[in-house]
């Protein structure tokens, strides 16, 4: 029995040695036959230059429960300076030197604070601003093979990271930085609008051509309007020609809609996980439409801005990583015509009691038709009537000032007419209306200003609220001659008296001449 036990012990010992040898062989072999990796860019763009750089080596050990991977970087690696500068606790990366290695080899460990997208962005910025003696491997037609296993960095517009390991030696990456188109517009050509006008806003974008590698791909549009616009909460979303979301519809909607956002009723967010929709939609256009009404707050705003952003997933390995587009802004303006009534002889005197109406001329059926300005006293919404009797009449108070608010540009130039319908007491009523011409000017940098003339005279424009400041003068009336009063009788009596006195003098001279 004792001999049998000794034999079994020897057999077990041999088996343990052999098993350890197998494990050691596997571990040591991890760096030998590792040149079978490949990288393919799923949405390859021929106008870009894709280059792959190996940042870390990888060693592995096959285990019954799970595979184990260890990443290292040599001290003489062309990327060591970049990695050692990045490896901090804040970035969730640590480099630990391995004793008795020449050149020194560092084991790379990471924590939950490590972010692959941030690391990729850092590597790109480092390479753009420093000399790295690594020519890398060019991905001809978006692909490269025969690559050593390891942790690779692929440069595109920003950069991507991928693992080439024994279990996944071939990786397909999506060029996360191929930007999706995103723009916004409004259905008013000149961008100058009336209070009460309903505007239709259109956001246009596109869907990615592929979701390769993504477990979730989030696509989110957020929009916020200024207080001069009242959001009508009527959002419609289309993929291609198919409506997939209609605000207020009972069913059939896809995605998540939020309004208001952060208690702002003039805002909304619509989001969808593209991995949950029909793949036939991929690479199609996205169109989002909604309306907003210009309200009374627009009267005092320099511009009413509507701003939208698009956020979408850009890293298959990190569902919290998003690309955010710059804000797409659309600005609309509304105009005011402010009248200041003054004495023509002394312009420091403001005149009360002058009444004004405003009209524009439109061509209809080859005839000129006058449309007169109206304004709702509560909402300040502007409307127009062809009946002069229904025109909104403004009468100057003691300040001599009145305002026609919330005006459109009325075409390429705003052509309006101010008509004085009643003059202040003691002043003459002008015989003709005063033409008002307003012009929108767009600078090369996109800044918008307005200029104006009133009755061929330059008028100032207040840029804080696009108010045309017009001064209209009145002349005092002259006292006309009267009939039936004593005024002329005096002159008649004096004239007769002077004639009588002259006659007496003539008679006396003749009498004196005869007597002599």
How far apart are alpha carbons 193 and 248 in whole angstroms? 28
Listed in sequence order, the residues at least 6 apart from 229 whose beta carbon sits closer than 8 Å to its beta carbon are: 199, 266, 292, 293, 294, 295, 298, 304, 306, 332
Phi-psi region of 92 (alpha: psi -120 to 50; beta: other; left: phi over 0): left
Tokens of 296: 């009374």
Whole-number CA gyration radius for the chain: 43
Tokens of 400: 């001599």
How far apart are alpha carbons 340 and 351 in whole angstroms? 8
Per-residue tens of pLDDT for the chain, all 516 residues = 444 344 333 333 322 222 222 222 223 333 434 578 898 887 677 777 888 999 998 877 655 444 567 889 999 999 999 999 999 999 999 999 999 999 999 999 999 888 877 788 788 889 889 999 999 999 888 898 999 888 888 886 555 555 555 567 888 776 654 578 899 999 998 899 999 999 999 999 999 887 866 788 999 999 999 999 999 999 999 999 999 999 988 888 999 999 999 999 999 999 999 999 999 999 899 999 999 999 999 999 999 999 999 999 877 767 788 888 899 999 999 999 999 999 999 999 999 999 999 999 988 999 999 999 999 999 999 999 999 999 999 999 999 999 999 999 865 445 899 999 999 999 999 989 999 999 999 998 888 999 999 987 889 999 889 999 999 998 887 555 555 555 555 555 566 777 777 766 766 666 665 555
Q: How many CA atoms lie less than 13 Å away from 20 in the CB half-sphere?
A: 6
DSSP 279: G
How far apart are alpha carbons 400 and 343 in whole angstroms? 10
Q: Strand, coil or helix: what is 307? A: strand
Listed in sequence order, the residues at least 6 apart from 163 whose beta carbon sits closer than 8 Å to its beta carbon are: 58, 150, 151, 152, 171
């Amino acid at each position: 029995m004792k001999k049998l036990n000794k034999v079994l012990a020897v057999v077990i010992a041999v088996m343990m040695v052999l098993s350890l040898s197998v494990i050691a062989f596997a571990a040591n072999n991890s760096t030998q036959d590792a040149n079978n990796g490949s990288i393919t860019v799923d949405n390859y763009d021929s106008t870009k230059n894709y280059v792959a750089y190996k940042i870390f080596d990888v060693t592995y050990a096959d285990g019954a429960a799970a595979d184990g991977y260890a990443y290292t970087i040599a001290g003489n690696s062309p990327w060591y300076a970049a990695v050692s500068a990045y490896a901090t606790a804040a970035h969730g990366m640590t480099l630990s030197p391995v004793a008795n290695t020449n050149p020194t080899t560092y084991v790379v460990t990471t924590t939950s604070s490590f972010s692959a997208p941030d690391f990729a962005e850092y590597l790109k910025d480092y390479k753009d601003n420093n000399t790295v003696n690594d020519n890398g491997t060019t991905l001809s037609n978006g692909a490269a093979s025969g690559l050593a296993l390891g942790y690779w960095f692929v440069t595109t517009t920003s950069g991507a990271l991928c693992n080439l390991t024994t279990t996944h030696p071939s990786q397909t990456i999506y060029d996360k930085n191929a930007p999706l188109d995103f723009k916004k517009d409004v259905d008013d050509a000149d961008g100058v609008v009336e209070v009460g006008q309903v505007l239709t806003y259109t956001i246009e974008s596109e869907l990615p051509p592929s979701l390769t590698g993504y477990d979730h791909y989030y696509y989110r549009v957020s929009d916020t309007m200024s207080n001069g616009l009242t959001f009508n909460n009527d959002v419609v979303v289309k993929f291609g020609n198919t409506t997939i979301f209609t605000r207020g519809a009972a069913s059939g909607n896809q995605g998540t809609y939020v309004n208001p956002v952060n208690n702002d009723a003039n805002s909304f967010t619509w989001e969808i996980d593209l991995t949950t929709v029909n793949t036939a939609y991929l690479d199609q256009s996205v169109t989002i439409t909604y309306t907003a009404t210009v309200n009374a707050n627009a009267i005092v705003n320099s511009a009413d801005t509507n701003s939208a952003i698009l956020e979408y997933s850009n890293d298959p390995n990190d569902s919290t990583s998003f690309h955010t587009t710059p804000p797409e802004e659309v600005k609309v303006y509304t105009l005011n015509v402010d009248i200041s009534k003054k004495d023509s002889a002394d312009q420091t005197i403001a005149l009360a009691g002058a009444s004004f109406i405003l009209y524009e001329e439109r061509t209809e059926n080859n005839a000129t038709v006058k449309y007169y300005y109206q304004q709702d006293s509560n909402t300040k919404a502007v409307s127009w009537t062809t009946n002069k009797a229904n025109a909104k009449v403004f009468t100057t108070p003691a300040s001599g000032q009145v305002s026609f608010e919330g005006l459109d540009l009325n075409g390429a130039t705003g052509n309006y007419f101010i008509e004085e319908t009643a003059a202040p007491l003691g002043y003459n009523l002008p015989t003709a209306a005063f033409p008002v011409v307003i012009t929108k000017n767009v600078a090369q940098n996109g800044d918008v200003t307005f200029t104006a003339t009133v009755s061929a005279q330059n008028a100032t424009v207040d840029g804080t609220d696009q108010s045309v400041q017009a001064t209209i003068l009145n002349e005092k009336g002259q006292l006309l001659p009267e009939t039936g009063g004593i005024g002329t009788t005096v002159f008649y009596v004096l004239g007769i008296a002077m004639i009588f006195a002259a006659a007496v003098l003539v008679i006396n001279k003749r009498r004196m001449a005869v007597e002599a």
